[in-house]
Each structure stands twice: as structure tokens, then as C-alpha cells.
Amino acid sequence: MSVPLAAPPAVSADPGPLGQLRVLFSRIGAMCLVELQKLRRDQTELLTRAIQPALWLLIFGETFTRLRAIPTGPVPYLDYLAPGILAQSALFISIFYGIQIIWERDAGVLAKLLVTPTPRAALVAGKAFAAGVRALVQAFIVVILAALLGVGLTANPLRLLGTAVAVVLGSAFFCCLSIVIAGLVLSRERLMGIGQAITMPLFFGSNALYPVNLMPSWLKVLSHANPLSYQVDALRGLLIGTPANLWADFGVLVGATALAIAVASALLGRLAR
């Protein structure tokens, strides 16, 4: 007489919070890798984008260092400027990322992505952190140029790692901001116009070029609300050792990036209609 086989234990379809988190991060990583594969098609893009920050360092930085028109205390102006130009390069490479989203919508790619099980937040975060990795490649070029110009940069590996994290977070935020604008305006032309309109105010309304205490009162208020200011402050503290509130800087960058991912995810469906 055969013994009846015991029924296999029931497996819960719900992977639990930790399992869901693992799935989310794996899908973010997969989307990030897909975005980075596009770099293989046009590797000269990052080199051409590095021309503008190089000119800022070579012309603006060298000239104002000699003029000593902007008081930066014991820190040479070129040293003071280099982290700001690093943040600027990350801003410029990320702020027009929404154009790619609109192109994917027009090509039908976005609609196909939205019907997959991948959460919208993972789609947005994957693109955001891919923009951060792109910015890292350009940041490496800027750091090498700054070192060649004699900027006193740190060699501490932990500080350099913190610099990389600050660059990625800042780029991710501005990439998501671009996706939010794309979700509101729904066209490449309008996105280009708004992107060009806000890029320079974001840059000049931060502490990238001059200390906050030199600004008029109204600009100080805008500077404190500008995430780029916190990114520059973190980069300056990490790279050249100026006083910086790193906990506040990274707290603002993480919070702003998380909020931007949430808003961009909510607008992704509107963009695909």
C-alpha cells in the first residue's frame, strides 16, 4: 500500500517588504544599465560636453584668480571655483534628459515600458542614476583638468567616494526635474525653452561662483532653496576641505531626489498618453 505524498507547503505570492525592495533595486539597476548602453553608440558626447566646464576653469577661473575680485578668504579662487564647475557640468548633462523621454514616447518605447511589471519609480530612478553615472565620467575629466591647473584637491579615497555620491545625487535630481517638466509641457520644443530658461538662474543663483554672503538678500533666499547650492557645498567640503555641513547637504540632496523621483513617476503616465 503506497503512502500518500504530503502536499508541498504553500508558498506565499507576496515576497514581503525585503523581497519587494530587492526586486525594485534590481529593476532600477537593469534600467540604469540599459541607459548606459546608449553611451557605446556615441562616446564622443561626454568629451564634447566637457568643453564648456573646461573653458570656465581655464578662462573664467584663471582670469578671476588674477583679478582677486571675488573674496574667498585663504582659498584661491580657482580652488573655490572648481567644485562649482564640477556641479555645473553635472547640471548641464542632466537638465535636458527629459528630451530623451519625449523621444521614447514618440517612438512608442515608453508605452511598452509602462505595461511591463516594472514600477514607474524604477523606470524613473534607472534613468536618473544613469544620468548620474554619465555625469561621473564628465566629472572625472573636470577633476583631472583642475588637478593639472594646480587646484589643491584631496586624495582621500573616502572623500572622493563622497564626491562621486554628491555628483550622482545632484545629477539624478536634475534629471528627474527635467522629466517632470517633460510631463508638464509634453513637447521637446517647450522643454528645450524651459530648460534653457532655468539652467543659468539655477547656476548663478547658487554658491558655485561666489560665496552666499556676497549675494543680495533676495538671492540668498533663492540660493537656500536651490539644491545646486547644497551639492556645491558638499563638493567643496569634500574636495578642497572648506567648512561644510555635509549631513545637511546630503540630507537635502537625498530628500530632493526622492521627491523628484516620486513626482516624475506620477507624471510618467500623463506623458505616455
Q: What does the pLDDT look like over 96-123, one tens digit per residue?
A: 888 888 887 888 878 887 777 777 888 8
In tens, the pLDDT along 37-50 reads 666 666 666 667 77
Q: How high is the pLDDT of residue 23?
A: 61
In the chain, % helix, strand, coil (3-state, to 5) comes to: 75, 0, 25
Q: pLDDT over 70 for what percent of the chain?
A: 82
Q: 27 is written with which cell numbers? A: 529593476
Q: How high is the pLDDT of residue 230?
A: 95
Dihedral of CA atoms 151, 154, 159, 165 in degrees, nearest 10, equals 30
Is residue 83 predicted with pLDDT exceeding 50? yes
Rounded to an integer, what distance in angstroms lies between the CA atom of residue 165 and that of residue 171? 10
Q: What is the mean pLDDT of residues 186-203?
A: 87
Q: What is the mean pLDDT of residues 18-36?
A: 65
Quote the mean pLDDT of the chain.
Answer: 82
Rounded to an integer, what distance in angstroms lies between the CA atom of residue 102 and that of residue 33? 20
Helix (H, G, I), strand (E, B) or coil at 110: helix
Q: What is the mean pLDDT of residues 2-7?
A: 50
Distance of CA 56 to the CA centre of its chain: 20
Residues in the chain: 273
pTM over 0.75: yes
Rounded to an integer, what distance in angstroms lies between the CA atom of residue 212 and that of residue 231? 14
The overall longest dimension of the chain from CA atoms, in Å, is 100
Is residue 203 predicted with pLDDT exceeding 80? yes
In tens, the pLDDT along 226-272 reads 999 999 999 999 999 888 899 999 999 999 999 999 999 888 877 77
